[in-house]
């Protein structure tokens, strides 16, 4: 997994509408980049809703929120509509960004070992450097923790 102070790898992925979005599009702005396992699962839905509820606070701070998973653009579109998600969701079915950020890892679930996305949030500064890494975050508190960090609380 990437560490604080590392250069954030650039990527170009499609959003829910099929438009290409690159990390470099947001140069000069802070970005909260969060990786999550799957659309419409209980934890991922709660995490997305928490980011949506705090979205105006992120906007006020001039911070862009981007969520990335392996789900298709069509899945993202339904997910965003179902929960009225105002931020960018990017589709990474080939795991380009997921692997570049080191969040594709071995996971244990009910004793079964498999590979998957470890729920992780990165804060990327205006110069494209990783300012903060939060691995294995809790879906219910992640957005509030990031917001408190950004506000210096």
- The yes-or-no verdict on residue 104 having pLDDT over 90 is yes
Catalytic residue among 44, 63, 85, 150: 44
- The yes-or-no verdict on residue 47 having pLDDT over 90 is yes
- Domain extents in the chain: 27-150
Point out the least confidently predicted range of 1-10, 35-44, 103-112, 126-135: 103-112
Classify domain 27-150 by CATH architecture: 3-Layer(aba) Sandwich (3.40)
SS (H, E, C) the chain: CCCCCCECCCCEEEECCCCEEEHHHHCCCEEEEEECCCCCCHHHHHHHHHHHHCHHHHHHCCEEEEEEECCCHHHHHHHHHHHCCCCEEEECCCCHHHHHCCCEEEEEECCEEEEEECCEEEEECCCCEEEEEEECCCCCCHHHHHHHHHCCC
What's the whole-number average pLDDT of the chain?
96
Question: pLDDT of 5-39, one tens digit each?
Answer: 999 999 999 999 999 999 999 999 999 999 999 99
pLDDT band of residue 153 (cuts 50, 70, 90) is: confident
49 included as an active-site residue: no
């Amino acid at each position: 997994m990437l560490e604080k102070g590392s250069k954030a790898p650039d990527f170009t992925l499609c959003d829910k509408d099929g438009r290409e979005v690159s990390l470099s599009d947001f140069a000069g702005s802070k970005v909260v980049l969060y990786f999550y396992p799957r659309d419409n699962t209980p934890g991922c839905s709660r995490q997305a809703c928490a980011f949506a509820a705090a979205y105006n606070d992120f906007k006020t701070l001039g911070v862009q929120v981007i969520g990335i998973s392996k789900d298709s653009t069509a899945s993202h579109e339904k997910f965003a509509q179902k929960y009225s998600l105002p931020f960018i969701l990017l589709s990474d079915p080939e795991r380009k960004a997921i692997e570049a950020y080191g969040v594709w890892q071995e996971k244990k679930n009910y004793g079964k070992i498999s590979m998957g996305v470890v729920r992780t949030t990165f804060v990327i500064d205006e110069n494209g450097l990783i300012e903060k890494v939060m691995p294995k975050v809790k879906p219910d508190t992640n957005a509030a923790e990031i917001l408190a960090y950004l506000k210096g609380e």
